């Protein structure tokens, strides 16, 4: 099995600003050479039981990922206008460099009536990798006849100029929970020639193992000739406050990015006995820095306290 050694927390908003008040969810990076920039989704303080999400970032020392050098002073993408898919939230998930531009794929949030929210996937572009402008008012991935519900957390990988892959969560249904409607979603795969027009396959790629399982954050790394995916999953209901039903880490492997074999026994990381990641572990991102592999991840209450990291110590020989 893989063995990950936890190194501790990197960043917690902890009331840093009005727009970066709590949560640092879904961290991912761009390597700028002298430093590593970690992007994440953060939230304003709650008002009337609701909050708005924004994209933020911190720069860290590449030789010591726990050392924060700079913190974003403004949100990455302005929220959408009235009725747009990102009116109430913009949650960054992946960046691809295309020429002199940085393409940011993000999840837009809006509010609903019969359900608490709706999520769709948008695209924004920028040249300084700090602020971005949407390419249009609508999403690049939204509802279709075969994917009518939620779309979020896109992880985009560009293997060649015309070989793009996106792994994202696709809503399966809404479930009646004790307090409100809860969403169920599974990971799906799309391909593209240009990063804008996507060929989507609505069939989930990872077999569920728990009741009404929800999956997200497909962190994929290639070691030798095999792709390894670390993701998180939870039960569909009663997962917010019940021990053992919140987000945990899962693992799958593939030789072609299309066919995946799940084997959670290999994941090599779990809950801590105490502390910020003792109740939940979620939203992984795996990266290689100077020959070492690291995993960024969030902890309790969906990353309310922030995110930390772990270092890969052992890779199983048969994987």
Mean pLDDT, contiguous 10-residue spans, the chain (319 residues):
96 94 97 97 82 96 98 97 97 98 98 95 98 97 97 97 97 93 97 98 98 98 95 96 93 98 98 95 97 97 95 80
Q: Residue 268 falls within a domain, yes or no?
A: yes
238: left (phi over 0), alpha (psi -120 to 50) or beta: left
Note the pLDDT of residue 45: 87
Note the pTM of the prediction, 2 decimals: 0.96
Residue 271 lies in a domain: yes
Q: Which of 81, 75, 78, 67 is CA-nearest to residue 40? A: 75
Burial code (b: 16+ CB inside 10 Å, e: under 16) for 125-139 equals ebeebebbebeeeeb
Neighbours of 71 (CB within 10 A): 14
Range of the domain at 95: 3-314
Q: Which two tokens stand for residue 208?
A: 């569920």
Q: Which two tokens stand for residue 240?
A: 């917010």
Is residue 175 situated within a structural domain? yes
Beta carbons within 8 Å of 284's beta carbon, 6+ residues apart: 217, 219, 230, 231, 232, 249, 295, 296, 297
CB 56 within 8 A of CB 118: no
pLDDT at 243: 87
pLDDT of residue 48: 64
The residue with tokens 């996937």 is 121
pLDDT of residue 318: 60
Residue 280 belongs to a domain: yes
Q: Count structural domains, the chain.
A: 1
Residue whose C-alpha is closest to residue 169's, from 186, 145, 193: 186
Could you tell me if residue 317 is left (phi over 0), alpha (psi between -120 and 50 degrees) or otherwise beta?
alpha
CATH assignment at residue 140: 2.115.10.20
Domain-embedded: residue 319: no
Q: What is the full DSSP assignment across 12-60?
A: --TT-SSSS-EEEEEEEEEE-SSEEEEEEEEEPPPBTTB--EEEEEEEE
């Amino acid at each position: 099995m893989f063995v990950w050694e936890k190194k501790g927390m990197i960043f917690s908003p902890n009331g840093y600003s009005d727009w970066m008040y709590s949560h640092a969810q879904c961290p991912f990076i761009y390597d700028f050479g002298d430093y590593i920039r970690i992007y994440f989704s953060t939230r304003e303080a709650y008002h009337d039981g609701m909050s708005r999400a924004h994209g933020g970032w911190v720069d860290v020392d590449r030789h010591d990922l726990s050392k924060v050098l700079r913190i974003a002073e403004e949100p990455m993408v302005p929220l959408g206008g009235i009725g747009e898919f990102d009116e109430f939230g913009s949650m960054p998930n992946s960046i691809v460099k295309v020429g002199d531009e940085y393409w940011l794929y993000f999840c837009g949030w809006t509010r609903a009536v019969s359900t608490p929210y709706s999520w769709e996937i948008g695209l924004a572009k920028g040249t300084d990798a700090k602020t971005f402008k949407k390419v249009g008012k609508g999403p690049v991935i939204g509802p279709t006849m075969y994917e009518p519900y939620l779309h979020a957390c896109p992880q985009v990988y560009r293997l060649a100029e015309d070989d793009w892959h996106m792994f994202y969560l696709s809503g399966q249904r809404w479930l009646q929970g004790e307090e409100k409607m809860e969403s169920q979603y599974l990971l799906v795969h799309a391909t593209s020639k240009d990063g804008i027009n996507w060929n989507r396959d609505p069939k989930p790629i990872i077999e569920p193992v728990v009741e009404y399982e929800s999956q997200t954050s497909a962190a994929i790394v290639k070691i030798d000739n095999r792709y390894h995916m670390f993701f998180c999953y939870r039960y569909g209901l009663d997962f917010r406050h019940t021990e053992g039903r919140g987000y945990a880490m899962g693992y799958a492997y593939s030789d072609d990015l299309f066919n995946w074999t799940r084997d959670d026994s290999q994941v090599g990381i779990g809950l801590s006995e105490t502390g910020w990641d003792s109740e939940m572990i979620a939203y992984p991102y795996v990266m290689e820095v100077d020959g070492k592999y690291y995993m960024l991840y969030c902890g309790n209450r969906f990353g309310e306290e922030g995110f930390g990291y772990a270092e890969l110590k052992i890779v199983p020989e048969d994987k």
